[in-house]
């Protein structure tokens, strides 16, 4: 047996059916174990079990060369049994960590599947509540009802269900709704390009956001670079797997992997790439900061319609937040508009107007005149085009200038609003 089951030193070959039959008879298909870690800390959480054909002449052969052949010839059940049995035996050395195994979507047709998994785990003494079943979504399609029954049986046995290669199939959302998944695996193809392609970042952010909304754990596959790990962590992805953390290894390497030092993520300063992909969770966080700010904050689009505002701004304007949305400033507050028009126009032209004192007109919504400290910032898109204005207003009642604390709080809130 070679000391590593890395993809790099695997012989590539395309097997014939008779060779595969022979391999199964001689018990040559074995599991490799790839670490799955918690992104934030780098701590080991478990392993994905990946089949390897330990060929006597060419060494370990990758599953792409034999899984389809096994599936097409009714051998996938036997192959899986061989791999699982060995994986569960090896799994006795991993304490309370998890094992994730792959099920061919075709196997989700057979009602005997849960019983087989139960037996293999029981024989080896591996607890089923430490087992995750990964299913690739593409081929679940045909028999969703039967797949649902089997998935429920597996869940009743204590297993968790994971939807593999999410985002690559034709009806990911349909599967998510139909089957009781606990986990989503973000396909490697999105992770690979997320540090360089905005579209991939958006897709990954959307998947992680979906995971949060549906209370599913998200696992990123194929994490190779530090940049990818950092982006994923900032997006709120929980688990990761990939060469950055470890390649698939044979069972006898498990003890060494388990005592290895965790590989955590070093956080650098915020970058556009990160802000670009703010997930729902971060948006909610932003909204809380926004609403709690001791300053009136709002964003208006190019036509000076309110797109968002915080409660303080609503209060200062004497109108509930929702009655502002979609309305033009000039329609709601014609007087105010007149006094502030030049600043609004300057901001639309790309010029920031920072903290100026303004006398508000006395007749303004029936209130006495007041002094405010106002800022108008142009908000730009990736092409540097102004898409609207971020405004901050602070009443100055007692003194002409805010205290240092008020000014610092206002600045923080403004920064958050601009993000």
Q: Is 104 in the site for ligand C2E (CB under 6 A)?
A: yes
Taking the least distance from each CB to ligand C2E, the nearer of 168 and 308 is: 168
* Residue 276, CA atoms < 13 Å, CB-side half-sphere: 19
237-256 positions binding ligand C2E, by CB under 6 A: 241-243, 248
| 328 contact choice in ligand C2E, Ca ion, none (CB below 5 to 8 Å, kind-dependent) | none
Q: Which of 62, 90, 147, 373 binds ligand C2E (CB under 6 A)?
A: 62
Residue nearer to ligand C2E on the CB measure, 87 or 309: 87
Q: Of residues 36, 37, 39, 83, which one binds ligand C2E by CB under 6 A?
A: 83
CB of 87 to ligand C2E, least distance (A): 8
d(CA 126, CA 130) in angstroms, rounded, equals 8
Least distance (Å) between residue 188 CB and Ca ion? 6
Asked if 219 and 164 count as a contact pair (C-beta separation under 8 A), the reply is no
Query: Where are the strands (E) in 78-168, listed by range?
Result: 98-103, 131-136, 160-166
Are 220 and 242 a contacting pair, CB within 8 Å? yes
CB of 37 or CB of 304, closer to ligand C2E: 37
Which of ligand C2E, Ca ion, none interacts with 222 (beta carbon under 5 to 8 A by kind)? Answer: ligand C2E
Q: Which is nearer to ligand C2E, 10 or 392 (CB)?
A: 10
Q: Which residues of 294-330 are buried (b: 16+ CB within 10 A; e: fewer)?
A: ebbbbbbeeebbbebbbebbbebbebebeebeeebbe
What is the smallest separation between the CB atom of 10 and ligand C2E, expressed in angstroms? 8
Residue carrying structure tokens 């596959």: 221
As measured in angstroms, the least distance from the Cβ of 185 to ligand C2E is 7
Buried b (16+ CB within 10 A) or exposed e, 371-405: ebbbbbbbbeeeeeebebbbbbbbbeeeeeebeee
Closest CA to 78 of 123, 162, 21, 121: 21
How many beta carbons lie within 10 A of that of residue 230, not counting itself?
A: 19
- Nearer CB in complex with ligand C2E: 243/364: 243
Stretch that binds ligand C2E, among 60-68, 169-177, 255-263, 407-415 (CB under 6 A): 60-68
Question: Helix or strand or coil: residue 217?
Answer: strand
Closest-CA residue to 3 (of 180, 252, 178) = 252
Q: Stretches 56-64, 119-127, 335-343, 362-370: which one binds ligand C2E (CB under 6 A)?
A: 56-64
In the bound complex, what is the minimum distance in angstroms from residue 295's beta carbon to ligand C2E? 45
What is residue 365's DSSP assignment?
A: G
Q: In the complex with ligand C2E, which residue's Cβ is closer, 55 or 282?
A: 55
One character per residue 187-226, x = contact with ligand C2E (rule: CB under 6 A): -x--------------------------------xx-x--
Q: Is 165 in the site for ligand C2E (CB under 6 A)?
A: yes
**Alpha helices per DSSP H over 167-271:** 172-178, 188-193, 198-213, 226-235, 254-259
Considering beta carbons, is residue 102 or 104 the nearer one to Ca ion?
102
Q: Which is nearer to Ca ion, 165 or 230 (CB)?
A: 165
2: left (phi over 0), alpha (psi -120 to 50) or beta: beta
Output 189 or 264, the one with its CB closest to Ca ion.
Answer: 189
Binding at 34: pick from ligand C2E, Ca ion, none (beta carbon under 5-8 Å per type): ligand C2E
Encoding tokens for residue 144? 């969703």
- From the list Ca ion, ligand C2E, none, which binds 67 (C-beta under 5 to 8 Å, kind-based)? ligand C2E
- Rank residues 163 and 389 by Cβ distance to ligand C2E and give the closer one: 163
Q: What are phi and psi of 131, to 5 degrees?
A: -110, 135
Backbone angles phi, psi at 230, to 5 degrees: -65, -45
Q: What are phi and psi of 310, to 5 degrees?
A: -95, 170
Contact status, residue 371 vs residue 359, Cβ threshold 8 Å? yes
- Quick one: which of 24, 121, 164, 190 contacts ligand C2E (CB under 6 A)? 164
Contact residues for Ca ion (CB under 5 A)? Answer: 102, 134, 164-165, 221
Minimum CB separation from ligand C2E for residue 247, in Å? 7
Residues that bind ligand C2E (CB under 6 A): 7, 34, 50-51, 62-64, 67, 80, 83, 102-104, 134, 136, 164-165, 188, 221-222, 224, 241-243, 248
């Amino acid at each position: 047996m070679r000391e590593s089951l890395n993809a790099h030193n695997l012989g590539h070959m395309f097997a014939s059916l008779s060779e595969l039959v022979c391999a199964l008879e001689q018990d040559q298909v074995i599991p490799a174990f790839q670490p799955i870690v918690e992104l934030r800390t780098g701590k080991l959480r478990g392993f994905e079990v990946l089949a390897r054909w330990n060929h006597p002449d060419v060494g370990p052969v990758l599953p792409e060369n034999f899984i389809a052949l096994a599936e097409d010839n009714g051998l996938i059940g036997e192959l899986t049994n061989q791999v699982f049995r060995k994986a569960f035996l090896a799994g006795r050395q991993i304490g309370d960590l998890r094992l994730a195994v792959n099920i061919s979507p075709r196997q989700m047709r057979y009602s005997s599947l849960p019983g087989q998994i139960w037996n293999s785990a029981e024989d080896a003494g591996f607890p089923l509540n430490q087992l995750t079943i990964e299913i690739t979504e593409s081929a679940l399609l045909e028999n969703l009802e039967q797949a649902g029954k089997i998935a429920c049986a597996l869940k009743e046995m204590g297993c968790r269900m994971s939807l593999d290669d999410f985002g690559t199939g034709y009806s990911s959302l349909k599967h998510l709704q139909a089957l009781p998944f606990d986990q989503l695996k973000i396909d490697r193809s999105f992770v690979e390009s997320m540090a360089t392609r905005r579209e991939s970042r958006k897709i990954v952010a959307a998947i992680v956001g979906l995971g949060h909304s549906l209370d599913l754990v998200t696992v990123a596959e194929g994490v190779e670079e530090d940049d990818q790990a950092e982006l994923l962590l900032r997006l709120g992805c929980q688990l990761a797997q990939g060469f950055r953390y470890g390649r698939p290894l044979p069972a006898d390497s498990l003890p060494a992997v388990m005592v290895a030092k965790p590989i955590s993520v070093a956080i650098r300063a915020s970058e556009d790439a990160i802000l670009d992909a703010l997930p729902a969770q971060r948006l909610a966080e932003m909204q809380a900061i926004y609403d709690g700010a001791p300053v009136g904050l709002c964003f208006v689009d190019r036509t000076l319609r309110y797109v968002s505002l915080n409660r303080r701004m609503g209060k200062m304007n004497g109108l509930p937040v929702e009655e502002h949305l979609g309305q033009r400033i000039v329609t709601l507050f014609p007087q105010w508009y007149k006094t502030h028009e030049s600043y609004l126009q300057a901001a639309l032209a790309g010029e920031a107007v920072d903290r100026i004192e303004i006398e508000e007109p006395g007749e303004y919504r029936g209130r006495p005149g007041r002094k405010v400290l106002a800022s108008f910032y142009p908000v730009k898109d990736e092409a540097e085009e102004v898409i609207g204005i971020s405004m901050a207003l602070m009443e100055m009642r007692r003194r002409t200038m805010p205290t240092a604390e008020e000014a610092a709080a206002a600045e923080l809130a403004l920064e958050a609003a601009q993000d």
